[in-house]
Amino acid sequence: MGNVASMMQFNEPLAQDQSGPACSPSLNDLLARLEDLSTEIRTFVKARASEPVTEGQLVREARQLYDLRRTVDIIFDHEGFSRSPAWDMMLDLFEAHAKKRSISVSSAGIGAACPGTTALRWIQVLEEMGLIVRQPDPLDKRRTIVSLTQDGLEKTTLALRARHQI
């Protein structure tokens, strides 16, 4: 069953509360369903990737992606910005802003799929560029929240709009 199955075995003792194993079957059912959903998603993605596409369509898509990356680099005035964890962080923070959610420093690193030390370096760079700000979490003083500045929001919006103009 893969990763979810190994989580199931690891977390099984946690699923049992003081009243015994009554809680465990529902957790196992939930984890089994998550595994099924994971399989369905992988199948869907593979099917979409194998849909017929002409070489011309692929070439146009490649050119659009290339142009978009260069545009992002120009907007943020940073060569390679679009290929760095910083761009992933900006996208994650943009979405969080739109949904009125807060993102912690550690969540920003997870969202950028990079090691914690790399995330911290990029957060510092983004902060120095005036694109993000760190603030203590008002609900949990142990956490630090990261959010877009007005400049960060404007540049991310501009970069996302550029996609529709390329």
pLDDT for position 93: 97
CATH of domain 55-163: 1.10.10.10
Average pLDDT over residues 78-103: 95
Distance separating alpha carbons of residues 152 and 156, to the nearest angstrom: 6
Residue 6 in this model has a pLDDT that exceeds 70: no
Residue 24 in this model has a pLDDT that exceeds 60: no
The model's pLDDT over 28-60, given as tens digits with 9 standing for 90+, comes to: 887 788 888 888 888 887 777 777 888 898 899
Nearest to 131 by CA among 92, 166, 161: 92
The domain ranges of the chain are 3-49, 55-163
| pTM over the 0.85 mark | no
> Angle 122-90-131 (CA atoms, 0-180°, nearest 5)?
70
Q: How sure is the predictor about 25, in pLDDT bands with cuts at 50, 70 and 90?
A: low
Give the Å distances, CA to CA, from 130 to 4, 35, 47, 125, 158.
40, 41, 42, 9, 16
Distance separating alpha carbons of residues 86 and 108, to the nearest angstrom: 10
